[in-house]
Chains A and B, each alone.
Chain A
Amino acid sequence: MIEVKNLYKSYDGEFVLNDVSAQFEPGKCNLIIGRSGSGKTVLLKSIAGLLEVDEGEIWYDDHKFSHLDTVTKQKIRKEMGVLFQGAALFDSLTVEENVLFPLDMFTPQSRKEKLDRANFCLERVRVTGSNGLYPAELSGGMKKRVAIARAIALNPKYLLCDEPNSGLDPETGIIIDSLIKELTEEFQMTTIVNSHDMNSVLEIGDKVIFIFQGCKCWEGSREDILKTDNEALNKFVFATSMAKKIKEP
């Protein structure tokens, strides 16, 4: 489980995260939703340890991540898979080398074992026959899948995804979402997904946290989200005229 307690983060005196507390449970897709600029990415990057918070605590199971020494932090990071918004595949490496990368870095396995694991991960995300291609030769959806394969290569306990279906068509977006949900349940990972896509929320949101102007404004399940009377959340969820028609037929 990942838990954040009273997180504060500011830039030039302006709070981007303001007293955010939340629990993210294992085996579930925990979604952080909110408008662009609401602080979702800052929250996710703070959880991943890429940004230092001003105040507050981040817990990975029994480890207080925000106050750990570098060595222990690195140990936890090895149990963490992160899917970045733009996939962040290494340009100079092929698909196979990208997935092999964490295995080369952290495992004492033989070359054959590593290749087997990389191929297993690629098959798991349904990318086959593209091992020798470079990221520049892949479509957006393929890049995201390869990034997921790389993220799960070390069998992580925690999976953090920053807008996994941004820039993808709705159908591919749903495929990526479903894949994340499938893997989360299969490997019982604690998954946190940043999104502003309502399709994702309704598809995979076991637990949803709504961030509004840097504060946690609402928390519930995907079923609750359609019935809430939270004004800011309703404005976000039913932003389009079509959605408004569904809400008020």
Chain B
Amino acid sequence: MKLLAHIGTYFLLMKRTFGQPQRHSILYRQIMREIEKVGINSFGIVVIISLFVGAVITIQVNFNIENPLLPTYLVGLTVRDSLLLEFSSTMMALILAGKVGSSIASELGMMRITEQIDALEVMGINSASYLILPKMIASLVFFPILCLLSIIVGLFGGYFACALGDIIPPADYINGIQYGFQPYYISYALTKTVFYAFIITSVSSYYGYFVKGGAVEVGKASTKAVVQSSILILLANLILTRTILG
């Protein structure tokens, strides 16, 4: 029953979120602010993690397929497909659920307990639409950009590992990342990222928006937001992979 109540409240919140915005100029301004908060401010973490993961995957793949019968360009091909199919969409979404999701839940939670959301409601403003919709649009627009960035930086990470670590000749690596390339994989990764962006923002907003109590409850809501978003991302990954590739 409690789960059903949660699901019902979540969908009612989403209905309010997609209600008519108060003013389009204000919505635009809010979206720009959110793009900076959820998108541009995540550039650093995406670049650092992708660079290292790209390098580590290269080293590990080379270590595991070290066989004279296997061509060395396979390292590049495997790194590319790992990044495209799983890491830059799903793993990056799990990382962003931690960074962006907890930030959204705690921001909204603090606004709730300090009566800022009540202040919006009492002014006659649809607080869900005003607060959540810009975050959602910003994430839906910007997370795919972060996914693309992660793919590019991850591939560079692999290249640096080859060039600096003497893993395989860099020319073989470049040959590998070009070999049998299917552009369809990129749209697959971007499609998954759009779903994940929706999950992260909506679930985190739900937990933050309905906080009751004080600072401890805000912390709990933030943790719940990250945990639930992560579980839903993994579930969505399974369903989307089966649906799109299966």
Q: Which chain A residues have a beta carbon within 8 Å of chain B's beta carbons? A: 45, 48-50, 73-78, 80, 82, 84-86, 88-92, 102, 104-106
Contacts and interface: CB of A to CB of B under 8 A. Distances in A.
A50 B121 contact: yes
B23 A88 contact: no
Interface string B108-124: 00110011101101111
B41 interface: no
Nearest to B25: A104
Given A49-B122, A82-B118, A105-B22, 16 more contacts: A45-B118, A48-B122, A76-B124, A77-B123, A78-B123, A80-B122, A82-B119, A84-B119, A86-B114, A86-B115, A88-B114, A90-B119, A91-B114, A104-B26, A105-B123, A106-B124
A84 B117 CA distance: 11
B125 interface: yes
Given A104-B23, A104-B26, A105-B22, A88 B115 contact: yes
Interface in B6-37: 22-23, 26, 33
A45 B33 CA distance: 31
B118 A88 contact: yes
15 contacts: A45-B118, A50-B122, A77-B124, A80-B122, A80-B123, A82-B118, A84-B115, A84-B118, A86-B114, A88-B119, A91-B110, A92-B33, A102-B123, A105-B23, A106-B123
Contacts of A74: 124
Interface of B: 22-23, 26, 33, 110-111, 114-116, 118-119, 121-125
B116 A77 contact: no
A75 B125 CA distance: 10
Contacts of A78: 123-124
A218 to B, nearest CB: 28
A49 B123 CA distance: 11
Nearest to A104: B26
Contact of A90 (B22, B23, B116, B121): B116
A86 to B, nearest CB: 6
Nearest to A74: B124
A88 B110 CA distance: 11
A48 B121 CA distance: 10
Contacts of A89: 116
A49 B124 CA distance: 10
A49 B33 CA distance: 30
Nearest to A78: B124
B124 A73 contact: yes
Ranked nearest first, the 4 interchain pairs of A and B with the lowest CB-CB distance are A77-B124, A74-B124, A88-B115, A88-B119
B165 to A, nearest CB: 45
Contact of A50 (B26, B114, B118): B118
Given A75-B124, A77-B123, A78-B123, A91 B116 contact: yes
A88 B124 CA distance: 15
A45 B115 CA distance: 11
Nearest to B130: A105
Contacts of B111: 91
B19 to A, nearest CB: 10
B114 A77 contact: no
A124 to B, nearest CB: 19
Contacts of B110: 91
Contacts of A102: 123
Contacts of B121: 49-50
A10 B116 CA distance: 24
A176 to B, nearest CB: 17
B43 to A, nearest CB: 21
B12 to A, nearest CB: 14
B231 to A, nearest CB: 30
A20 to B, nearest CB: 20
A73 B122 CA distance: 10
Nearest to A84: B115
A145 B118 CA distance: 18
Contacts of A92: 33
